[in-house]
Amino acid sequence: METMPFEFATAGRIVFGDGAASEVAPAAAAMGRRALLVTGQGTERAAALARALEAAGVVAVPFRVSGEPSIGTIAAGAAYARGEGCDVVVAMGGGSAIDAGKALAVMLTNPGEPLDYLEVVGRGQPLRQPSAPFIAVPTTAGTGSEVTRNAVLAAPERGVKASLRSPFLLARLAVVDPELTLDLPPALTASTGLDALTQLIEPYVSVRANPMTDLYTMEGLRTAGASLPRAWANGGDRAARRGMCWASLLGGLSLANAGLGAVHGFAAPVGGMFPAPHGAVCAALLAAAMEINLEALRQRAPESRALARYDEVGRLLTGKPHSTAADGIEWIAALCRRFEIPPLRAYGVTASDIPLLASRAAEASSMKANPIKLTREELEEIIRRAI
């Protein structure tokens, strides 16, 4: 085996499978007495979990987030949770609810406010105290947030998003129950599923990919390629839903340990400046970013291992042994057409936004793992093709 030192970290425990959500309440009871229960809009399911917690002897203190959490939401929520004496945090929902839960769990035990610790827009100080125990229960198959070590927060007045990032943000327990995703509507299945796909491709071609993340990304791409079209066409297809939860989890494991790339480099400023859901933004950018990365690699780094990896992406997604990088890009573009993924202009992005978006993307933390450093012109071309 060639020398390839690496590090790998993930949630303390992962429970995966149909019906796994029944594990949440007893696990929470072993971690604390008063749970901050962070949820998105799904109130019915949240009420059922609150009842299960109470039955297990845990007081549930509800906290709802609508959309991606802002710095202000987290500052206010942490003060509320402290006042309520919460000693464990349970988050159930999409990536926004889970990221909010992570941020609240770490702000429960660390002094000050989120801006003290935020990268890019804040003071970037290291978080010094372990989080309150945190349980993540995803209800979408896309973000992998249940096993990542960052929480994305919006700074609406600055028009950007930035992350709290620390190994302390890893969940004590991640419960992935594919049954929770059965009622996702097709449009959400499409956008979250394409986020999962992006979060497998970018870590696979990343400069920080390691032998362990390679296992996960390749398995995830094979599974997502077979499952995503089926889960979208028939939401009740349990095997396909299971496949997408598995692919999403593998994407989370991979991105947390190998980083991302240009698509997520752009997703942060686009999502910060325009009211566009993260998955839809990634979907609109993915094919263009792959095309530009390939052109740049062929011109300036023809020996890069990422080139062969893009061909492998084509084979894994199409399931055909002779597919190439171009076939993979066409497979993705065709899926986006079938899913009716809108271009970024649908969210108000125009040609006049290109220079600012390219500048901000160049500064984004995700861009550091892109397989090649892109020029200013190349960055602008990615966003131009996605508009």
Nearest distance from C-beta of residue 23 to Zn ion, angstroms: 26
Q: Which is nearer to Zn ion, 10 or 323 (CB)?
A: 10
Query: What pairs with residue 93 in β-bridges?
Result: 138
**The total number of residues written for the chain in this structure:** 387
Nearest distance from C-beta of residue 280 to Zn ion, angstroms: 11
Query: What pairs with residue 316 in β-bridges?
Result: none
Nearest distance from C-beta of residue 131 to Zn ion, angstroms: 22
Nearest distance from C-beta of residue 218 to Zn ion, angstroms: 19
- Within 8 A by CB and 6+ apart from 369, the residues are 202, 203, 206, 207, 208, 258, 259, 260, 261
Nearest distance from C-beta of residue 88 to Zn ion, angstroms: 27
* Number of residues near Zn ion (by CB under 5 A): 1
The helix or strand, by DSSP H or E, that contains position 92, with its residue range, turns out to be strand 88-93
Nearest distance from C-beta of residue 347 to Zn ion, angstroms: 16
Q: Which is nearer to Zn ion, 60 or 335 (CB)?
A: 335
Q: Return the amino acid letter for 106.
A: V
* Site map (CB under 5 A) of Zn ion, residues 315-354, x = contact: ----------------------------------------
Nearest distance from C-beta of residue 158 to Zn ion, angstroms: 20
Q: Which is nearer to Zn ion, 131 or 192 (CB)?
A: 192
Residue closest to 206 by CA, chosen among 278, 198, 336, 266:
198
Nearest distance from C-beta of residue 108 to Zn ion, angstroms: 26
Nearest distance from C-beta of residue 110 to Zn ion, angstroms: 25
Determine whether 224 is exposed, middle or buried from the number of CB atoms within 10 Å of its CB (0-12, 13-18, 19+). Answer: buried
Q: Which is nearer to Zn ion, 323 or 366 (CB)?
A: 366
Return d(Cα 10, Cα 375) in angstroms, integer. 33
Q: Which two tokens stand for residue 72?
A: 């202000």
Return d(Cα 133, Cα 45) in angstroms, integer. 22
Helices (H), the chain: 24-29, 43-55, 71-83, 95-109, 114-117, 186-205, 211-233, 238-258, 262-273, 278-300, 305-318, 325-338, 354-363, 376-386
Q: Which is nearer to Zn ion, 195 or 381 (CB)?
A: 195
Interacting residues with Zn ion between 187 and 206 (CB under 5 A): 195
The contacts found for 75-79 with CB under 8 angstroms, 24 or more apart, are 75/107, 75/113, 75/114, 77/36, 77/38, 77/104, 77/107, 78/103, 78/104, 78/107, 78/108, 78/114
**End-to-end distance of the chain based on CA atoms, in angstroms?**
44
Q: Which is nearer to Zn ion, 133 or 251 (CB)?
A: 251
What is the DSSP secondary structure assignment for residue 70, as one 8-state letter?
B
Return d(Cα 345, Cα 348) in angstroms, integer. 5
Q: Which is nearer to Zn ion, 146 or 195 (CB)?
A: 195
Nearest distance from C-beta of residue 336 to Zn ion, angstroms: 15
Q: Which is nearer to Zn ion, 177 or 195 (CB)?
A: 195
SS3 state of residue 39: strand
Q: Which is nearer to Zn ion, 255 or 379 (CB)?
A: 255
Interacting residues with Zn ion between 8 and 67 (CB under 5 A): none
Using CB under 5 A as the binding rule, whether residue 146 contacts Zn ion is answered as: no
In the bound state, the residue with its beta carbon closest to Zn ion is 195
Q: Which is nearer to Zn ion, 195 or 353 (CB)?
A: 195
Binding site for Zn ion (CB under 5 A): 195
